[in-house]
Amino acid sequence: MQILQKSKKSKARTGKLKTSHGVINTPFFMPIATKGAVKNLSTYDLDELGTEIILANTYHLYLQPGEKLIKKAGGLHKYMNWFGPILTDSGGYQVFSLAKIRKIKQDGVEFQSHLDGSKHFLTPEKSIQIQQDLGIDIMMALDVCPPGDSNQKEIIKACDTTYEWAKKCFKAWQKTKKKQQLFGIIQGGIYKKLRDQSLKQITSLDFSGYAIGGLAVGEDRKDMYKVLEYIAPKLPENKPRYLMGLGRPEELVFAIKQGIDMFDCVIPTREARHGRLYQFCTQREKGAIKLFDNLAYKTSIIKNEKNKLDFSPINNKSEVKLLRQYTKSYLHHLFKIQEGLGLRLATLNNLEFYLDLMRKIQSAIRQGKL
RNA sequence: GCGGGUAUAGUUUAACGGUAGAACAGCGGGUUGUGGUCCCGUUGGCCUGGGUUCAACUCCCAGUACUCGCC
């Protein structure tokens, strides 16, 4: 990763990350396409939003439609008609989110498919093989993501397994032509000592980049901030730093100030489907949440009746024509009648907000404001 | 015109001679390496007038509205 600017006000930085499908400006946000689609959007929509990279999921694509099918199709890029960079999560998060239907063993995770109940065994090597078959740009090592309320013993165990698996992933990756990048993941919960140890272990392996995992999984928000502030600056400076799974806009700003370069989160897309819209606003407005400088944002619920007679555009400043043309009243109506177009417009709105936020942040770092 | 039925929250409805429940709508909160419209909380109500009874949303009578059938 090439670093272009380092802030004097914080540990924030801007740069460029090269991948085999293009260069990405950092810090950046990845819209989530778990199963090979950003829900409700086409790749044309993603282009219009200025999307630079998306995130997909190894476990989900392995189960359906299967990595072999995608390989036959010419890889995930060709299969889903997206020719920018793709990062895949290894399946490690499903260790956490699908806790009821899996067993962690020494060599890997045993899953029972949430689709048909069939049993599957995901090993570090298998995860790498799947990600290679998918042909994506940035692979993630298989890790164990323990819940936020785990005790110290459980976190230690998760760290140990994560390290063992990281070594196996690294070894499997070394045997390939290394056209794809591989990132390692640091665990350790909210314990500084464990984070330090995990950092030391994982960074002993020369990964393409390093991620902080195991945050925003149920722990206290204050603890999350403390750990992030503590560990982020310790990550290797010349490599991309990825904070997995976060977050709210103010959390992204905070993390960027600690030196994080990469993010992904379901918030903009999921909340869009539930009718919550993100928008920039002035700091004085009711419900405004301050970000930095003079920038603030608020959310609103389009289903609320107050929108029924609001014939103003969804976002009159949007670069997306649809968002300038369709009114809030109409979007309210679309949600009431449960019409898919509503989901699409809301998703466009929220992703444009998140991607715009990152562009504003990049610009602020360049101008020395962040 | 005659006869029958129904009237409970904004809507659709439940129960009961002794504190009227629910769903949807409304309002508020939640969602963090995806839960495809989800989860949690919350504000609203017995058609009107008489009668019986210790006590009536409930039983009786009248009115009103709606509805079905007949002429």
Q: For tokens 């103003």, what's the residue?
A: A312
The backbone torsions φ and ψ at residue A285, rounded to the nearest 5 degrees and listed phi first, read -65, 150
Which nucleotide is closest to the Cα of A57 by its C1'?
Answer: B33
Is the predicted pLDDT of residue A8 greater than 90, yes or no? yes
Do A282 and A260 fall into the same domain?
no
Q: Does A227 fall in a domain?
A: yes
Domain of A337 in residue numbering reads as 272-364
Q: Does A24 fall in a domain?
A: yes
Do A182 and A164 fall into the same domain?
yes
Q: Strand B: which bases are under 7 Å from protein Cβ?
A: 25-38
Span of A90-104, A113-127, A138-152, A182-196 with lowest mean pLDDT: A90-104
Q: Does A370 fall in a domain?
A: no
Boundary residue ending a domain (A264, A293, A310) = A264
- Distance CA(A223)–CA(A239), nearest Å, equals 25
A22: left (phi over 0), alpha (psi -120 to 50) or beta: left
Q: What is the pTM of this model?
A: 0.92
Round to a whole number and report the distance in Å from the CA of A215 to the C1' of B49.
Answer: 67
Do A164 and A226 fall into the same domain?
yes
Do A129 and A27 fall into the same domain?
yes
Boundary residue ending a domain (A243, A264, A285) = A264
Q: Does A216 fall in a domain?
A: yes
Are A209 and A240 in contact by the 8 Å Cβ rule? The answer is: yes
Is the predicted pLDDT of residue A177 greater than 90, yes or no? no
Round to a whole number and report the distance in Å from the CA of A321 to the C1' of B58.
Answer: 60
Q: Does A173 fall in a domain?
A: yes
Q: How many CB atoms lie within 10 A of CB A113?
A: 15
pLDDT at A273: 94
Higher-scoring residue by pLDDT: A221, A206: A206
- What are the pLDDT digits (tens) for A52-63? 999 999 999 998
Do A64 and A147 fall into the same domain?
yes
List residues of A with catalytic annotation. Answer: 89, 264
Round to a whole number and report the distance in Å from the CA of A366 to the C1' of B70.
Answer: 87
Is the predicted pLDDT of residue A302 greater than 80, yes or no? yes
Token representation of residue A152:
């110290």
Is the predicted pLDDT of residue A285 greater than 90, yes or no? no
Is the predicted pLDDT of residue A242 greater than 90, yes or no? yes
Do A344 and A217 fall into the same domain?
no
Is the predicted pLDDT of residue A99 greater than 80, yes or no? no
Span of A31-40, A253-262, A287-296 with lowest mean pLDDT: A287-296
Q: Does A128 fall in a domain?
A: yes
Q: Does A369 fall in a domain?
A: no
Do A201 and A59 fall into the same domain?
yes
Helices (H), A1-151: 43-49, 58-63, 67-72, 76-80, 92-97, 124-134
Do A323 and A353 fall into the same domain?
yes
Do A253 and A189 fall into the same domain?
yes
Q: Which helix (H) or strand (E) holds A226?
A: helix A221-231
Do A242 and A329 fall into the same domain?
no
Do A209 and A347 fall into the same domain?
no
- What are the pLDDT digits (tens) for A20-45? 999 999 999 999 999 999 999 999 99
Is the predicted pLDDT of residue A101 greater than 80, yes or no? no
Round to a whole number and report the distance in Å from the CA of A121 to the C1' of B65.
Answer: 69
Boundary residue ending a domain (A264, A295, A328) = A264
